[in-house]
Amino acid sequence: MAKIPLILPSDPAFYDLPPPPGSEPRRSLESMLAKAATATDDEEHEREEAERVPDRPLLSGACDSHIHVFAEPKRFAYRDEAYSPEAAPATEYAATRQRLGLDRVVVVQSSAYGFDHDCLIDALEQLDTGPDGTGQGHARGVAAVASSVTDGELRDLVAAGCVATRFQMRDPWRLIDWTETDRLAARVHDTVAWDVELQMDGRFLAEVEPRLMSWPGRVIVDHIGCFLGRVGDRDPGLRALLRLIDADKVWVKLSGPEESVNEPQRHGQRPRYRDAERIARQLIRFAPERLVWGSNWPHPSAGETEIDDGWMLDLLGDWTEDEALRRRILVDNAAELFRFAPAAAAEPS
C-alpha cells in the first residue's frame, strides 16, 4: 500500500483530508430537536434501540484481538493476592465470541499470573476450535516472559499458539523493568520471531520513542494508545504514536476505551468515550492498515461498571461506517499481525 506523507493533526493540512469515516452525525440537529419535542429520554432511547440495526459485521475470520482469561483459582493460582480478578473462564468467553459473531481470538497473558502461562495455554486449547466447534487455528496467544526465559520455553509457547510477548509497563502490574526490554525484545524476535505488545501510559510515548524504534520486530500498542489522561492534538505522546505508525513500527489495538477515560459520557443507556473515540477516528483516518480491534473482555479494570461487548464492537462500526474498513481491521489486519490463515472473502450475514 502506498504510503501517505506524515501529516500530524496539529498541521492545518490534516483537516483538508476527507473527514474520517463515521465523523459525520447520523441525524440532523433539526430531526433530533423534533424527536425531543415529542418523546421523553427513555422513550427516545427505546425507539432508537428498536430501530437500530446492529453494526456487528459477522465476517468470516473476524478477530477479537484482546481478551484475558481468568480461570477458577483452584485450577490456576494467581501470582499473589494483590491482584486477583473474578473468574472469567474460557467457556464464558466462547459464548461471547459466538454471540458477537467472531471467528478468532487473541488471548493476552494477564499480570495476575505473572510468568506462569498454564492458564493461557489452557485457554488457547479451549478456544482454538471455531465458534461452531469445528476446525483449528482460531486462537493465538500473547505471552509475558521473563528475561531468564529459556529457548525451550519460548518454543513450547510457540507450539501452544503464542506469537508475541507482552511488556506491561503500567504500575502496579509491571513485571519487568525498562532496562530489560531492549535485550528481551531482541531475544524473542531472534529466537522465535515474536513481536512485542506494549501497554504503557501513552502520554509518555515520546520519551521511549527511540527505544521502541530500536526493537527489531513490530510493536503492538494496547487500548488506542492507552492515554491515561486527556491529550490534545499537539500532545507529544500522540504525535509520537503517529510517527511510530508512520515508520511502520507500531500497530494499535482499538480496544479498551474504558481504560483511558475515567468518566464516560452517556448515549442513552450506553457509554461513549469521547476522548478515546477522537483518537480512534484519527488513527482510522491516518493508517487503517495498522489497526486491529479487541473487546478487552472481561474488562478487569472496569470495577463495578458492566460493559456490553456487543456495544464495544458496535463502536467500531460507528467509528468507521464503512464495510471495507471494518473488514480490514477485524479480518485482514488481524490475520497478518497474529499469523492467522488468510480468511476467505465473505459477505456479512
Mean pLDDT of the 283-311 span = 91
Sheet architecture: strand order including 63-67: 63-67, 104-108, 139-143, 162-168, 195-199, 219-221, 250-254, 291-293
Q: Which of 34-48, 56-70, 227-241 has the lowest mean pLDDT?
A: 34-48
Q: Mean pLDDT score of the chain, rounded to an integer?
A: 85
Residue 72 has pLDDT above 70, yes or no: yes
pLDDT tens profile 3-43:
555 555 555 555 455 544 444 443 443 443 344 444 444 44
Q: In this predicted model, what pLDDT tens digit does every residue of 87-133 receive, in sequence order?
A: 999 999 999 999 999 999 999 999 999 999 999 999 999 999 988 88
Q: Rounded CA gap, 316 and 313, in Å?
A: 5
Nearest to 54 by CA among 17, 94, 92, 100: 100
* Start-to-end CA span in the chain (Å): 28
Predicted local distance difference test score (pLDDT) of residue 79: 93
Determine how β-strand 219-221 pairs with β-strand 250-254: parallel
* Residue 50 predicted with pLDDT over 50: no
Q: What is the pLDDT of residue 68?
A: 98
Phi and psi at 152, nearest 5°, equal -65, -40
Chain centroid offset of residue 138 CA? 17
**Between the CA of residue 64 and those of 3, 139, 264, 273, 348, what are the distances in Å?**
27, 10, 22, 19, 16
What domains sit in the chain, N to C, each tagged with a CATH number?
A: 56-338 (3.20.20.140)
Give the pLDDT score at 89.
97
The pLDDT-based confidence of 265 (bands split at 50, 70, 90) is low
pTM beyond 0.85: no
Task: Determine the pLDDT at residue 22.
Answer: 41
Mean pLDDT of 247-272: 81
Rounded Cα distance, 64 and 219, in Å: 18
163 pLDDT higher than 80: yes
